Amino acid sequence: MLIETQRDLITLSEGLRTAPYICIDTEFVSERRYYPEVGTIQIATPSTKGEQTVLVDTLAVRDLSPLRHILTSASMVKVFHAPEQDLAIFFRLLGEPVRPVFDSQVAAALLGYSQRPSFRDLVERVTGVRLEKGHTFTDWLRRPLAPSQVKYALDDVRHLMPVYERLVQELENKGRLQWAREEFKRYEKQSYFLPIDERTLYLRLRGAEQLSGKSLAILQELTAWREVTARSENKPRESIIMDAALVDLARRPRKFVRELSEVRGLRAPRIHRPRQKGGKSFPLNSSPLSTFSSPACARSRMSKASRAAYSPIAPMFQPSCSREVGQMCPYSKDGGARPSAT
């Protein structure tokens, strides 16, 4: 079933209120942006007729507020597989975590299946069905959706139902169900979804271990600036400035703005030339880039910019929303860089 109107979404949410659990998945695109854009939300639940599977077209249905009660109802388990990014998306939409959650990947690991079993492997082990990979890199923002795309997306939640029921039974038999529930509680904490601290990201850059003292401090400030800029402009980090360029600038700070044009990996629009008299270039510390000439000043600016860039309450959950659907950021450890399909 395809949900493409507000009325159908309201009808769906009302019908799901008594379900004991629902299986959920999303398909989104994260390339060329910092905030992934959601294309579809898939939901499956058992019913008196066997099962109910629906795909919500989030480009057609602008107001997702009818799903709020479903996603936060304490009496209904929300079942995902490896849900970190999906949950972060919903957190940004709702302003609060989805709860309660069941993660089939963690549950399978507790049962000794493997450390981090893939969904395809888990489905095949439990049901004997081998899921297709045909739409792994599909652009889920293009319309219309082909029937094969809809089937691919719904297959994930359709097969997640028997996986969930099997895992719950095995956890109960081995006395590990409470262990699993304790593990899942981390997903219900707001702190789990807070933005990455931009002032720690420099430690992840290749080459940072070769710097020290002033150079390392410069790298920290430049990396923090890039992170906040990427968030505010909704662009990938490396489209602002490449990792190698950050390390190079930290290792060999440029004195004049004109010298920045020689840095490979620094996009030209990022180079701001202050107005000057007599055709002479001003020193770098008198240009707009002097934001980072003072570590204390930079720390203050980064803190304020970071707070301004993050708002957990997305207007998609307000009836008068005019914001483009899917402009949300799952604050994942990799900044949302992942394949298009989940």
**Alpha-carbon gap, residue 305 to 253, rounded angstroms:** 24
Residue with token string 């994930």: 156
- C-alpha distances in Å from residue 318, one per residue of 5, 72, 73, 306: 16, 16, 19, 24
Could you say which of 156, 221, 227, 243 is catalytic? Answer: 156
| Alpha helices for 48-118 (secondary structure H) | 68-72, 84-94, 104-110
| DSSP state letter for 20 | S
Q: Residues 6 or more apart from 45 whose CB is under 8 A from it?
A: 16, 19, 21, 22, 23, 51, 52, 161
Amino acid at 227: E
CB within 8 A of 336, min separation 6: which ones?
A: 30, 33, 34, 35, 36, 85, 329, 330
Q: Which one of 8, 37, 86, 221 is the catalytic residue?
A: 86
Pairing of strands 2-3, 52-57: parallel
User: Which is the catalytic residue, given 152, 164, 202, 331?
Assistant: 152
- Is 197 a known active-site residue? no
d(CA 314, CA 95): 7
Residue (of 184, 164, 199) closest to 298 by Cα position: 199
How many whole angstroms separate alpha carbon 159 and alpha carbon 32? 31
- Identify the helix (H) or strand (E) that includes residue 306: helix 295-309
Q: Which of 8, 27, 37, 155 is catalytic?
A: 27
Task: Tell me if residue 25 is catalytic.
Answer: yes
Is 8 tagged catalytic?
A: no
Is residue 310 part of the annotated active site? The answer reads no
Report yes or no: 60 and 4 within 8 Å, Cβ to Cβ: yes
CA–CA separation, 276 and 321 (whole Å): 45
* End-to-end Cα, the chain, rounded Å: 20
The yes-or-no answer on residue 209 being catalytic is no
Tell me the C-alpha distance between 282 and 279, whole Å: 9
d(CA 229, CA 219): 15
Residues known to be catalytic? 25, 27, 86, 152, 156
